[in-house]
Structure 1
Amino acid sequence: MAITKVTEKESNAQEQEKLSPECKELLSSLPKEKGQRTPYLFLYQGFWCQPKEIQAIISVQKHYKAEDTDLIFATIPNSGTTWLKALSFAIVNRRHYHHSQKSHPLLTSNPHELVPFLEYKLFANNQIPDISSFPRPPLLATHMPLGAMHDSVRGSSSKLVYLARNPFDTFVSIYHFLCKIRPKSLGPFLLEEAFDMYCRGVMGFGPYWEHMLGYWYESLRSPHKVLFLKYEEMKENTSFELKKMAEFLGFPFSIQEEKDGVVEGIAKMCSFEHLKDLEVNKKGKGAIADFLV
């Protein structure tokens, strides 16, 4: 059977078919650059996104109204997102699911399912979910810069946890991830080209520094509202950082829990070494080996 080669023009047309007329009209007015996994990236509200991401973000901005109990976990792609999701779920739900429990949701479900992205899951494909029906407190995730979040996020008592990673390590992780998933129709992704784009900020939800600094400055202004964590410090002293995050989220570890090794138990269960070996994390879009990290 003959294999039909998809050209860049055809790939772009396929991408456009999935967009609403309003989004298509908006894209025609935005600056654009060659994309890493789609034909183009577009500059929307100061950051670079794929077309489908922009459509979903607009829906988030229109329809998502943060409530006081919402807990939001933010990262730039490939900076420890999956790890942060796993840790946050285990912390908040530890009274329902002990870390040693064989039926723990983190052993049977991918962290991206348990802590869904606003723009990739909940508000994607023209969906408008009823987050008020979610278990309390709702655990939500995003790659969106702080400035793109709805005013209700800053105006409510909802809390944000941001995880930052060394920019060079983030680039290396992004590059290898994109090389795995980049459509062949776009041709090879040269390291020099990728590094140039990254340094210019032309990357998913970039520029990196603007994304990171937005959350960092807000954590200084409102430390009760935004907790700024560093990936490298989390790796070096996971237990200490876990206790800091639990305290901030309103789920502090008790002295007895610390004596019983609950903090260390959660850290071990949520480690990359453990998560990547689970069958639920080995395949599909949620494969930890690809998605993380």
Structure 2
Amino acid sequence: MLSPIAFYSPIAIATEDEEKARKAKMSIIIERYKDRVSVLHKHKTWNNTHVYKYEGFWYHRGFWYQSNASFSIEAVMASQDGFQAQPTDVFLASHPKSGTTWLKALAFAIANRTKFNFGPNHPLRTICPHDCVPFIESEAFLNNPSYANGLMATHIPYTSLPKSIISCGCRIVYICRDPKDVLISSWHFMNKLIGNESTPIKLEDAFEYFSKGIITNGSFWDNVVGYRKASLERRGRPDTVLFLVYEEMKKDPKNEVKKLAKFIGHPFTKEEEAKRVVEEIIELCSFEKLSNASTNANDEREDTLSNEIFFRKGIVGDSVNHLTPEMIQILDRITRQKYEGLDIPI
């Protein structure tokens, strides 16, 4: 097992001036990669914008949702060219809407449990987990490197990760979720995102593009398969890739949180377990607590996303209330085909 990681000292939230500087740097990056992007195959996706195919996955180009510039194709290229991982780093990987926010909160709370008590002053009481754990493709390589102290997140597919992440032996935690619930969560998220600015996305359209993988960050199934294969190939090195399943975490949070803590180098002691520290972290990171914290967060920057947009229900199986039996049958068939031989609970 690699040594424990000393995560985060203060919580680093970008100021308005830092946001302006970040946007200016992102503009430079967009200009740098425009020729490479211009020759890529493009396709219209569910919100009537275009995505571009790069290394087998689809991405938006340029600035995507407001100032975050998150997950654009140029950001992926820039992270591949410039991001340098360290052996002590931990990366929380996922396809969007697969439990990313929850995983960030749990990992942050686990790693920083000796720095912050679980009372009202804990950062997660008022700060969105996305402000506690940056995405490498939208934050870490754009700001001062001290902003990312060992714990980072990514939606980049395994095969497109910066080479240093693969070669340096750092740890990767991947979270997988039922694709039907991912679809519904993504559909609601995108409609919140566009608000009243344009016509809401129809579920039928969202289903069509999701099924074909023509969405930001590409095929959900291919993203899962890439990390699952990596976890199986590295069985001889069990400290490098941990594959978690959202539904299993909801069913047995205590054991899954203990597994996560051990993997990232911060196992719970017997004394901590006796004092119910595991349960305290689970409670702190519950959907109800995190969503309440997002409501109370005071973010005065008008050009950034409201923290509330990242929370909806967080339950298992909500897709049955939205999808038709035929849609469910099609998605289940794709899942069985894609996951064959990979021992992924479906």
TM over 0.5, yes or no? yes
Once the two structures are superposed, residues 161-189 of structure 1 have per-residue CA deviations (whole angstroms, 9 ceiling, x without a partner) of 00000000000000111112137666442
Aligned mates of 1:112, 1:256 — CA distance in 2? 30
Q: How does 1:23-62 map to 2 (within 5 A)?
A: 23-37=33-47, 39-52=49-62, 53-62=72-81
For 1:35 and 1:185, locate their aligned partners in 2 and report how far apart those are by CA, in whole Å: 17
TM-aligned CA distance change 1:121 to 1:48, over 3 Å: same
C-alpha separation between the residues in 2 aligned to 1:185 and 1:217?
A: 40
Question: CA 1:241 to 1:111, structure 2 compared with 1: closer, same or farther past 3 Å?
Answer: same
1:102 aligns with 2:112: no
Spell out the pairing of 1:48-87 with structure 2 (5 A cutoff). 48-52=58-62, 53-87=72-106
SS in 2 for 1:228: strand
Aligned pair in 2 of structure 1 residues 48, 282: CA closer, same or farther (>3 Å)?
farther
Check 1:157–1:140 CA distance in 2 against 1; reply closer, same or farther (3 A cut): same
1:171 pairs with 161, 167, 183, which one?
183
- 1:287 counterpart = 2:299: no
Give the equivalent residue in structure 2 for 1:119.
137
1:38–1:97 distance in 2 versus 1, CA, 3 Å: farther
* CA offset digits 1:67-113 (Å, max 9, x no partner): 011111011001111111000000001111122x3211111321111
Deviations 1:236-282 (A, max 9, x none): 11111000000111100001101100000000000111111123458
1:183–1:39 CA distance, 2 compared to 1 (3 A) = farther
Distance across 2 between alignment mates of 1:193 and 1:121:
31
Aligned residue in 2 for 1:160:
172
Deviates more, 1:156-165 or 1:25-34: 25-34
The answer as to whether partners of 1:31 and 1:43 remain within 8 angstroms in 2 is yes
Question: What SS is found at the alignment partner of 1:20?
Answer: helix
From the superposition, tell whether residues 166 and 58 of structure 1 become closer, same or farther in structure 2 (CA, over 3 Å): same
Letter of the 1:64 partner, please give it: F
Aligned to 1:90: 109
Using the alignment, how far apart are the partners of 1:221 and 1:42 within structure 2? Answer: 30
Task: Identify if the C-alpha distance between structure 1 residues 276 and 167 changes in structure 2 by more than 3 Å, giving closer, same or farther.
Answer: same
Residue of structure 1 aligned with 2:31, choices 21, 28, 45: 21
Which amino acid in 1 is paired with 2:307? Answer: A
Partner SS state of residue 162, structure 1? strand
Distance in 1, Cα, partners of 2:185 & 2:148 = 33
Answer whether contact 1:247 1:253 (CA < 8 A) is retained.
yes
SS in 2 for 1:277: helix
Query: Aligned partners of 2:282 and 2:291: how far apart in 1?
Result: 14
CA distance in 1, matches of 2:151, 2:296: 20
Residue number in structure 1 paired with 2:222: 210
Q: CA deviation at 1:23?
A: 2.6
Tell me which residue corresponds to 1:9: none
CA contact (8 A) 1:74 1:163 kept: yes
Is the 1:36–1:178 Cα contact (8 Å) retained in structure 2?
Answer: no
Q: Distance in 1 between matches of 2:156 and 2:190?
A: 19
Whole-angstrom distance in 1 between the partners of 2:306 and 2:281: 21
CA RMSD of aligned residues (A): 2.2
Whole-Å Cα distance in 2 between the matches of residues 92 and 160 of structure 1?
Answer: 15
Aligned amino acid, residue 286 of structure 2? S
The residue type equivalent to 1:261 in the other structure is R
Question: Which residue of the partner structure matches residue 212 of structure 2?
Answer: 200
Residue 23 of structure 2 corresponds to none
Separation in structure 1 between the aligned mates of residue 148 and residue 134 of structure 2, nearest angstrom: 13
- Counterparts of 1:55 and 1:280, CA distance in 2: 33
Percent sequence identity over aligned pairs: 37
Give the length in aligned residue pairs. 270
C-alpha contact 1:276 1:289 (8 A) present in aligned 2: no
Residues 224 and 256 of structure 1, relative CA distance in 2, 3 Å threshold: same
Cα offset, 1:148, TM superposition = 0.9
Determine if the alignment matches structure 1 residue 228 to structure 2 residue 243.
yes
Residue number in structure 2 paired with 1:8: none
